A and B are shown apart, each in its own frame.
Chain A
Amino acid sequence: MSEQSKKYLIQMKNVDKYFGEFQALKNINLEVERKERIVICGPSGSGKSTLIRCLNRLEKHNKGQVFIDGNELTDQIKDINAVRREVGMVFQSFNLFPHMTVVKNLMVAQQLVRKISKADAKQRAMHFLERVKIPEQANKYPIQLSGGQQQRVAIARALCMKPKIMLFDEPTSALDPEMINEVLEVMVDLATDGMTMICVTHEMGFARSVADRIIFMDLGEIVEESKPSEFFGNPKNERTKNFLEQILTH
């Protein structure tokens, strides 16, 4: 464990990822400090989702190194789940467990993975449900909730694990427009609270107001990496300009 890799919460060094012949990630280098908020954007198929899925090893990278809080993710890693419980993830399609009520969805991993007692798990679950403003839905099944509500439950489920970092994989892409804001509000709230976050999203308003850094990806590469003011005001790369034009003038 090098001192340098301990300094950053997340560090990716020269990471390549292939799906068969197709190279999804090309020589990715990325460092994320504690409490940093990063937004990753880019056209579909650019490797954004693959990048963050490599951070909790839902995808295995083929080359390079990935460090989470100083621990390198390798095949030899003894307990990947010890790393995963420190990394919360929110999916585009929510992925709530359909056969469990909302509160059970929040409790199950606390009890199984964190070995927290049932009473404590429930208390924490209710705490985070209140935080995402839907405590009254605790005993419903996921299918009985709107998309926006489901995604807020999914965020609460990840938060219950007290993660050191939250990954968001296009959390609002599957939502109807009127539900996007309720989810973004929760995310802004989290950011204000000092949570380290990496969000893959096309919500440029959110990126502008919350992100410390914006990363633009295309064809598996990080093309541009800058502060929001620079990113929107004075994008350097031609591809970034094209993308911004398309997304801001639709």
Chain B
Amino acid sequence: MAAEDLPSEFDVVILGTGLAESVVAAACSRVGQRVLHVDRRSYYAANWASFTFNALLTWIQEIQAESLSEEVQDRSSLVEEGEELIYLSGSDSASISNLQVFCYVSEEAEEEEEPANTTEEEEAGAAGEGAAKEPSETESAGSKEEEAGEAAEGDEQAAQEQGEEPKADQPQPSAPPSQSEPTRKKISYTQLVKEGRRFNIDLVSKLMYSRGSLVDLLIKSNVSRYAEFKNVTRILTYRHGSVEQVPCSRADVFASRQLSVVEKRKLMRFLTSCVEETEEHQAYNGRPYLEFLREQQLGDNLQHFLLHSIAMVTEDTLTKVGLASTRHFLRCLGRYGNTPFLFPVYGLGEIPQCFCRMSAVFGGIYCLRHSVSCLIVDKDSNRCKAVIDSRGQRISCSHFVVEDGFVGADRKVATPTRLLSRAVLITDASVLPGDSEQQVSLVTVPPTDGRPAVNMVELSPSTMTCIPGTYLVHLTCQSVGSAYEDLSPVVTRMFCMAECQDEENRPAVLWCLYFNMADGSGVEPEGHDLPSNVYVCSGPDGALGHEHAIKQAESIFLKILPEEEFCPPAPNPEDIIYDGENTSPTSIGEEEEEEGLTAAGGEGEEKQQEQQEEETSLQPEE
């Protein structure tokens, strides 16, 4: 907590705590590099962060206030002969745009038992209280943009008239038979704020393929010890105005009630035939996957499932790509559950922090609210030899890794800026109520009327991302227009916004947020107008999985340390066991000891087995 000076020499300095940067930090610390990892923000994980409800309100406020970047300070006095400066950009506010907030629940506290006292999150406290206490003066205007604060009020550009008038009362559709409580509970805005700390709302929405590169890396590096996961339990699709379950595992196919016996047989045969590439497949390689599917005489149902929910591609995707994607899906099935996907408990924002923790455990130094203002470049070699931090300290380093947003536009290779459209909804019921209230679902919404395909992830409270009685719904697509333009049609079709006596029994949206985020998939680590030992990490991309960031991190690591292993397993602290009575250690003690931990003592193994009984333990392939 003390404001000490940082050491003045590191091997690798990293600015930005997004996923790729954090993986690079962990990988470098792990093999003994001295790492300084800083972020200008007050929170970890950059645009990969997850927030409590209150912290999200603060984040929204900050974006809307468009915090001006600090004045560029002249640092030329710190430059020595033969050196020149490259100034970095002070803020990355450009990565988020078109932010809009709508609230459809009463902002008045029904039972004012105690003042909206939010000691929870210091930063968030202010926003939370402001919002909660602000009376909803006018029902329409007051309930959008309610996220409070002077900033929001002054900022009219975001406000957009909605058809419905948000009202206090909640719709009370009849509950599914299995629900224990006969009616849904009303949840007020005050309650959302009061229990705000129990939300973990991600800025990005992704899932982890159970055999994807992120899961493999978590297992291989032992960073997995810092997190737990939930299976995505269902894959759903939106079709003909309703939500249907996509049968994807063998068990699903047999249990499916929507499929005829003939369809079941066809689907099984098709999926089996996909696993190995055949000559027939090759013949279609250059033609659209849809054509290939049509040729298989599968029928509309199956074709829809296979194209949109299993391959998750569009109608013009080539067969080669469609089949590869289908195979990946099938390979990931059944490793941990009935779908190919996992989701981290407490949200995706945990993942970069897990890598940061690993880096810290191996000596990485962490500072938030701390930035790098410029680089010192050696003119002769065109290498970055030091950085100057936001306090004006000169810190020498051999490599510098930086989040895309901090690199000035003039230094970057001009790439067309693509955007992602995002929506985050807090709803009061599942889009497809089932036997369990704790389903985690991926919903694929095929493209319609020139609007792109939308991936929707519905999280139940079991993921520790929302409070009981609510669901957290994330929507993502490649943007065509603003996030609101792209996604609100889907939201309007699938949810009801206010007090609607909804005959279709759709879930009600309590609160929602739309925004656009820059799509990181176009940014390359190298090739910019930057010194050769400076590497750029892109922000989140629009794909469902994490392959982009993980591949990028690995390639940056291999450029920095071509001879070293990428994220070898860290020793397991549980292997260092000292029994209460028996003072002799069972194994290892030396810090250098890294390998050979497989020879853990008997107690360690016992422990493993016990764990197995409680939890589905997972196994890597050997």
* Bound pair (A, B): no
